[in-house]
Structure 1
Amino acid sequence: MGIVLGPNRYGKAEVRLVHVERGAERHRVTDLTVGIALSGELTETHLTGDNSRVLPTDSQKNTVYAFAREFGVGTPETFALRLARHFTDTVEAVRQARVSVEQHAWQRTGGRPHSFSRAGGEARTATVTCRREPGGPPAAWTVSGLSGLTVLNTSGSEFRGFPRDRYTTLAETGDRLLATSVDARWRHTATEPDPDAAPDWDASHTAARELLLAAFADTYSRSLQQTLYAMGQTLLRERPELAEVRLSLPNRHHFLVDLDPFGLDNPGEVFYAADRPYGLIEGTVLRDELPTVDFCW
Structure 2
Amino acid sequence: MILGQNQYGKAENRVVRITRDGTTHHIKDLNVSVALSGDMEDVHLSGSNAAVLTTDTTKNTVFAFAKEHGIASAEAFGIALARHFVAGQPSIRTARIRLEEYAWARIETPGPRRHSFVRENQETRTAQVTFDGTDWEIVSGLKDLVVLNSTDSEFTGYLKDRYTTLPETRDRILATRVQACWRHASADADWDPVYRQAREHLLGAFAGTYSLSLQQTLYRMGTRVLENCPGIEEIRLSLPNQHHFLVDLEPFGLTNDNEVYHAADRPYGLIEATILREGAEPRIPADMTTLA
Structure 2 length as normaliser, TM-score?
0.56
Tell me what 2:233 maps to.
243
1:206-245, aligned counterparts within 5 Å? 206-245=196-235
CA distances 1:110-137 after superposition (whole Å, capped 9, x unpaired): xxxxxxxxx73310000111123xxxxx
Aligned amino acid, residue 189 of structure 1: A
Q: Which structure 1 residue ranges, 5 or more long, are not aligned?
A: 1-118, 133-137, 193-197
1:46-65, aligned counterparts within 5 Å? none
Residue 273 in structure 1 maps to residue 248 in structure 2? no
Tell me what 2:127 maps to.
126
Q: Percent identity?
A: 57
Aligned amino acid, residue 170 of structure 2: G
Distance change (3 Å), C-alpha of 1:294 and 1:174: closer
CA distances 1:82-111 after superposition (whole Å, capped 9, x unpaired): xxxxxxxxxxxxxxxxxxxxxxxxxxxxxx
SS at match of 1:120: coil
Residue 180 in structure 1 maps to residue 176 in structure 2? yes
What is the alpha-carbon distance in structure 1 between the residues aligned to residue 177 and residue 284 of structure 2? 24
- Higher mean C-alpha deviation, range 286-295 or range 119-128: 286-295
What is the alpha-carbon distance in structure 2 between the residues aligned to residue 128 and residue 142 of structure 1? 5
1:60-71, aligned counterparts within 5 Å? none
CA distances 1:51-96 after superposition (whole Å, capped 9, x unpaired): xxxxxxxxxxxxxxxxxxxxxxxxxxxxxxxxxxxxxxxxxxxxxx
SS at match of 2:121: strand
- Aligned alpha-carbon RMSD (Å): 1.2
Structure 1 length as normaliser, TM-score?
0.55
Tell me what 2:156 maps to.
160
Aligned amino acid, residue 226 of structure 1: Q
SS at match of 1:121: coil
Tell me what 2:185 maps to.
189
Q: Which structure 2 residue ranges, 5 or more long, are not aligned?
A: 1-119
Aligned amino acid, residue 214 of structure 1: G
How far the C-alpha of 1:294 sits from its partner, in A, is 4.5
Residue 150 in structure 1 maps to residue 146 in structure 2? yes
How far the C-alpha of 1:292 sits from its partner, in A, is 2.9
Aligned amino acid, residue 253 of structure 2: G
What is the alpha-carbon distance in structure 1 between the residues aligned to residue 284 and residue 121 of structure 2? 31
Q: How many correspondences in the alignment?
A: 168
- Higher mean C-alpha deviation, range 216-225 or range 198-207: 198-207
Residue 289 in structure 1 maps to residue 279 in structure 2? yes
What is the alpha-carbon distance in structure 1 between the residues aligned to residue 153 and residue 219 of structure 2? 15
Aligned amino acid, residue 171 of structure 2: D
Q: Assess if the C-alpha contact under 8 Å between 2:245 and 2:261 holds in 1.
A: yes
Q: Assess if the C-alpha contact under 8 Å between 2:183 and 2:284 holds in 1.
A: no
SS at match of 1:187: strand
Q: Report 1 or 2 for greater relative contact order, CA contacts < 8 Å, sequence distance ≥ 6.
A: 2
Tell me what 1:252 maps to.
242
